[in-house]
Amino acid sequence: MSSAALRRPALTSSFGPYLVAGAVFLFLGAFLIIPVLKVIQVAFQDPATGSLTLVNFQDFFASTLFRQSFFNSLYVASMSVVFASAVALPLAYLTTRFNFSGSVVIQTLAFVPLIMPPFIGAVAMQLLFGSNGSLNLLLRNHFGVTLPIMEGLNGVIFVQSLHYFPFILINLSASLRNIDRSMEEAAQMLGSSGLRLFRRIVFPLAMPGYIAGASLVFVKVFDDLGTPLLLNVNTMLAPQAYLRISSVGISDPMGYVISCILILFSIFAMWVSFLGMRGKDYSTTQKGGGGLAKRDLRPYEAALCYLVVLSILAIVLAPHLGLLLLSFGTIWSFSVLPDGYTLAHYETALTSAWGFIQNTLLYAGLAGLIDIILGTAIAYVVMRTGVIGRKWLDYIAMAALAVPGVVLGIGYLRVFYSVEMPGSGQPLATWWGIIVIALAVRRLPYALRSCTAALQQISPSLEEASENLGASKFATVRRIVIPLMAGGLVAGFVTSFATAAVELSATIMLVASERDAPLAYGLYLFMQSAAGRGPGAALGIIAVIIVGLATYFSHRLIDNARRSRTDVANNGGGH
């Protein structure tokens, strides 16, 4: 280090964070706030005169249908959190607490539900769990009863819990790994064990992770429109908004009013969870003590655990199993299993899909990259600097969770269609890059959570040590913070990448030509015709495999990194 490097002007350290915060804010402003405002301003216009008014909100609260929709959404979101927790808790506990062969496989498989391709997933679910699906056909033939799993709000809760529980699993597992084992041992020594120990000590300590995951599930379910629409449940807020926005020729402002309310309520929910977590930062690992002690299982215990884990995985992965059957099946109609099996669908899918796959890898990859860059920047500004109003960067980025894809898509068309691309003279909105940005904005909240969690675990003294040795803020972030965050960054990248790969609602508005279209769009094309069901399922399986492999290898990376780190700690430490 030269002495010149040590004599750095004081300005960089005070203006640098503002510069980063400003750049992030500009990005969010241009690609989230302005497009959304451009769309939802209709909510504040008098439909008759076009003047500014709140009368539409008055109408919203006066409407029985909307009030009922609101409570239905609230009910479904809450119950989904309950059921998602019931699925995620045992998986998180068993895989973090015991020496369980295949923990990585389980964690990966449990992530797969997040990558459920649109449309086709719902068809598979109906074929398995619908009122005339495999399960109910069997039940009816043998016992004369049926289970209304997929009917009404219950169906929405069922599908949503299975779809979004990985959010709780991922966050809770991370939290559990960060609990110092002495916390648990102290309780054991005082006579606590098993579930009681988990309920009174382990779970409360993992609470921040659980709340982070649960609030994500709540908001996501509250705002999601895909599942209710595909199950034809209309009396919920998000589908009401969508139906009113996307109907031909009707200019009902209520769709935009509902969008406003969705966004506001989601921010409110995130804020409540933030309040709940305040002062509960129990990151208790000391001296790299390596988290909960992993215990070996006795044979009968192992058998029991495998039974629990496998039965959960069986339910959770059932949609993908259905998808697999659909992709190999010839005709599957009102029968327990397809009539016959064929490889022809894969042939059809692969001949037409190569361009889609290439585009998807490119778009989702770039979007994931943008997300972890933005996520790291926001997390760093929020947690490590004193920039005024920094919390708002966090809130705004998280609000993207609540913006319906259609609203963002229309907003982009409105804002960027009149802007010409430098060079080609094409409208900016028809450039494929805008799809990437839309995906990045839509998935930013996921990456941001991971980056925040990763940064939380790095002691500021490590950065101070670097600065003390003469490294600039920037160099410190690059050489100390980012390498230490690597695990979290990879997790964030994977979540963004995987979910962006199957995203449809915003892209369908923005795809301007088929050669720029991603895989989800190709799937949508197939799913518009009776003959396309098989190839669509095959394409869905291809998507799941690509994303699943990416996830698995990232998990391996994280796990190896963590193992080598704890090994060092164990050799250095006393025990």
Please report how close the Cβ of residue 243 comes to other proteins at its closest, in angstroms: 7
Interacting residue with other proteins among 20, 92, 123, 135 (CB under 8 A)? 123
- Using CB under 8 A, pick the residue from 52, 62, 275, 388 that binds other proteins: 62
Residue 8, interface with other proteins (CB under 8 A)?
no
> How many residues belong to the site for other proteins (CB under 8 A)?
118
| Of residues 177 and 390, the one with the C-beta less far from other proteins | 177
The answer to the question of residue 243 lying near other proteins (CB under 8 A) is yes
Smallest gap from Cβ 235 to other proteins, in A, equals 6
Helix (H) or strand (E) holding 332: none
Q: According to CB under 8 A, which one of 30, 55, 277, 458 is a site residue for other proteins?
A: 55
Contact call for residue 247 and other proteins (CB under 8 A): yes
Q: Which of 27, 346, 526, 552 binds other proteins (CB under 8 A)?
A: 526
Say how many residues make up the chain. Answer: 575
Single out the residue of 78, 192, 456, 457 in contact with other proteins (rule: CB under 8 A).
192
Determine how many CB atoms are found less than 10 A away from the CB of residue 63: 15
In whole angstroms, how close is the CB of 311 to other proteins at the nearest point? Answer: 26
- Alpha-carbon distance 450 to 440, whole Å? 15
Residue with tokens 């098993």: 194
- Chain Cα centroid distance, residue 155: 21
Q: Which of 417, 458, 467, 475 binds other proteins (CB under 8 A)?
A: 417
Tokens found for residue 105 = 């496989």
Write out 342-353 in H/E/C secondary structure. CCHHHHHHHHHH
Instruction: Burial-class residue 339 by CB neighbours within 10 Å (0-12, 13-18, 19+).
Output: exposed
Q: Cite the beta strand spans of 207-292 per DSSP E.
A: none
154 lies in the binding site for other proteins (CB under 8 A): no
Binding segment toward other proteins, per CB under 8 A, in 18-26, 53-61, 77-85, 451-459: 53-61
Which residue of 83, 383, 414, 456 would you call a contact of other proteins, by CB under 8 A? 414
- Contact 48/413 with Cβ under 8 angstroms? no
**Residue 172 touches other proteins, criterion: CB under 8 A:** no
Between helix 134-143 and helix 120-129 the angle, nearest 10°, is 10
What is the spatial distance between Cα 225 and Cα 156, in angstroms, rounded to a whole number? Answer: 10
CA–CA separation, 405 and 443 (whole Å): 11
Give yes or no for residue 432 binding other proteins (CB under 8 A): yes
Q: Does 324 bind other proteins (CB under 8 A)?
A: no
Residue 297, number of CB atoms within 10 A of its CB: 18
**Of residues 262-301, those binding other proteins (CB under 8 A):** 280, 282, 284, 286-287, 289, 293, 296
Task: Please state, in angstroms and rounded to a whole number, the distance separating the CA atoms of residues 285 and 306.
Answer: 29
Which of 59-67, 88-96, 156-164, 462-470 is the region at the interface with other proteins (rule: CB under 8 A)?
59-67
Q: For other proteins, what does the binding mask look like between residues 351 and 390, x meaning CB under 8 A?
A: -x-----xx-xx--xx--x---------------------
Residues paired with residue 427 on neighbouring β-strands, in sequence order: 420
CB of 161 to other proteins, least distance (A): 21
Residues 6+ apart with CB under 8 A from 237: 66, 69, 70, 72, 73, 222, 258, 261, 262
Is residue 118 within 8 Å of 226, Cβ to Cβ? yes
Handedness of CA 188, 192, 193, 196 (dihedral sign): negative
Residue 483: CB minimum distance to other proteins, A: 4
Residue ranges in 483-522 that form contacts with other proteins under rule CB under 8 A: 483-484, 486, 490, 508-509, 511-515, 521
Smallest gap from residue 297 Cβ to other proteins (A): 13
Least distance CB 15 / other proteins (angstroms)? 28
Choice between 17 and 209, CB closer to other proteins? 209
Least distance from other proteins to the Cβ atom of residue 25, Å: 25
What residues does 52 pair with on adjacent strands?
Answer: 45
Which 3 state secondary structure label does DSSP give 52?
strand
Of 429, 477, 428, 479, give the one whose Cα is nearest residue 455: 477
Residue 232, interface with other proteins (CB under 8 A)?
A: yes
The correct pick among 14, 41, 101, 560 for binding other proteins (CB under 8 A) is 560
Query: Minimum distance from CB of 62 to other proteins (Å)?
Result: 6
